[in-house]
Each structure stands twice: as structure tokens, then as C-alpha cells.
Amino acid sequence: MPELPEVETVVRGLSPFITGQIVQDIVTNRPDLRIPFPENLKDLQGKTVLNIKRRAKYILISFENSFVLCLHLGMSGTIRLSGNNSESLQKHDHFLMILQNGTKVIFNDPRRFGMVLLLKEEDFSFHPSFKNLGPEPLSPDFSGSYLYASCKGKTSSIKQALLDQRVVSGLGNIYVCEALFKAGIHPKRKAGNIALKRMEKLVEDIRQTLEKAIKAGGSSLKDYAHVDGSLGYFQHQFQVYDQEGRACPGCTCDTLKTGGVQRIVQSGRSTFFCPEKQN
């Protein structure tokens, strides 16, 4: 599920509850998710949480002694905060971080596409999961000229390019569809065949799409301010994603003629777009 805005929402939701707290124990209820859990998770016992951040779709929790716990929610992962000692575990609660003040951070992941890594700060940027990540889409490094240069010569589609975490990190299927709609660019257009001006607008539209979603996540956070909420998905109305056949919002195209929002498959994944507005 979770793309950049959802992960950002989880990070912001967790931060006030775990920052400065001390780990009592780490508990795993099975040997692995997509990959085996790290063998040295118990090294976190007694360590203080310094801060929690996001990089791409990873949640990064930094501890004293330079440990960095990296959590990836995969497709179906959610994180639940519990301060209630009597709360029982639910199905697919695979990983728990228990703090000395009684707070539990519970990682639930039915499909087990998620991932947990425990790295040292100094090894972080060399790890395969991080060494090839492109710039954060909300950072100044991600500009129209950067994207134009990155896509130069690419024969694959702009949708593929934006999903490539080496080009830009944190975008997933939903927000790529939404941003391309906003930018009016056809998802099948060759990435190397888009003018600099259009790339500049695309970059701006990606930013606005993400920021709007983060804001929506922030407002849904109110529901989780009381410990016990699930952090992960939040309700958000999409313009084209999963809207096949609907008239696209703010578009004057004749739905009867164009069929409204269309769904196609690119590299095995659904793409939603408006054939009238996106070219």
C-alpha cells in the first residue's frame, strides 16, 4: 500500500510516542517477512530512540550507538501503537517493539512483503536498499532539469520512469497515476520524449500531489492521537486511481464519447488515466 505520503504519516504519528523512549524488548512472531528478520534485534534492548525519519518508503528509527532500524511496509503493512498491556495480538502481528514505558509498536503485515533491517549508521548508505535510491521528490534535488536529464534516452514510459526508485524515490503506482493526470501527460509517453517545460510542470505536480496527500494523512492522524490506532492506510479521494469509467474531475471531456477514466496495464500493473486530458 503505502507510498511516500502514507509512510510520512506513519512517521509523524509515531514520533511523539517513541522519541526519547527506551527499548525494553523486540519480539518477532515468525522468522521472516520478505527476508529473515535481523539476528541482532536484541541489540536494541536498553537503547534510546533518538529520532524517526523517512527515506523513500522506508521508516528509519535511529538509536543511540548509531543503530538504525529500517522498516518497510511492503504492500499490506500497517503499524499500530498500543499502550494497553492487556491488548492481545492480532493475526499477522509479526514484529513488536516494546518500550520501557509500556508503549508497543506493532508491525502487522498480512502479505509479508514488508521488510525489517537493522543497520549501523555508517553502513546505511552502502546498503543495497539505499545506495541506489534517487532523490526525494519533495527535496530541491528533484527538479525539472534533473528529471529531464534522468529520462534522456529512455525508451520506456514516463510511468515506468517515475516508478523507478533510482530516478525518484518514494513514488508508487497510485501517486504516479495521480501526478501524470494532473500534469496532463499520457502514462505511455516515452520518458525520453518529454520536453523540459513539461518535466518542470510534472515535478511541480508531483510535489503538489504528494503534499496534498500528506496533508490528508495528517488530518486522519487526529483519529490516531489516542494510542491504539492503526497507522498505514488512510482514506483519500483519488482523481483517477481506481476510478475506471468515471468522468475525470475538472475535465470537460465528454464521458459518453471517451468512456471517462480508462484502465490499462503497464508492466503488469494498472494504470488509470484520462485519454482526453493526457497526451
Partner DNA sequence: CGGCAAACCTGCGAGC
Partner DNA sequence: TGCTCGCAGGTTTGCC
Residues in CB range of 127: below 8 A, 6 or more apart: 117, 119
The yes-or-no answer on residue 182 being catalytic is: no
| Using rule CB under 7 A, residue 156 touches DNA | yes
Question: Is the CB of 41 or the CB of 70 nearer to DNA?
Answer: 70
Whether 16 is catalytic is no
Among 13, 135, 172, 187, binds DNA (CB under 7 A): 172
Output the smallest distance, CB 154 to DNA, in A. 5
User: Is 42 assigned a catalytic role?
Assistant: no
108 interacts with DNA by CB under 7 A: no
User: What are the backbone angles phi and psi of residue 9, rounded to the nearest 5°?
Assistant: -65, -40
Active site residue: 12, 47, 269, 275, which one?
Answer: 269
Among 50, 189, 208, 233, binds DNA (CB under 7 A): 233
Q: Restricting to residues 20-49, name those near DNA by CB under 7 A.
A: 34
**Residue 3: active-site member:** yes
82 or 157, CB closer to DNA? 157
CA atoms within 13 A on the CB side of 185: 29
Binders of DNA among residues 123 to 152 (CB under 7 A) are: 128-129
Minimum separation from the CB atom of position 177 to DNA (A): 9
Contact string 185-224 vs DNA (x = CB under 7 A): ----------------------------------------
**How many residues touch DNA (CB under 7 A)?**
34
Distance, CA of 57 to CA of 149 (rounded, Å): 24
At residue 176, what are phi and psi to the nearest 5 degrees? -65, -45
Nearest-approach distance from CB 133 to DNA, in angstroms: 9
Single residue of 31, 140, 268, 279 touching DNA by CB under 7 A: 268
Binding site for DNA (CB under 7 A): 1-3, 6, 34, 56-57, 72, 74-76, 91-92, 110-113, 128-129, 154-157, 160, 163, 165, 172-174, 233, 267-270
What residues are annotated to the active site?
A: 2-3, 57, 269
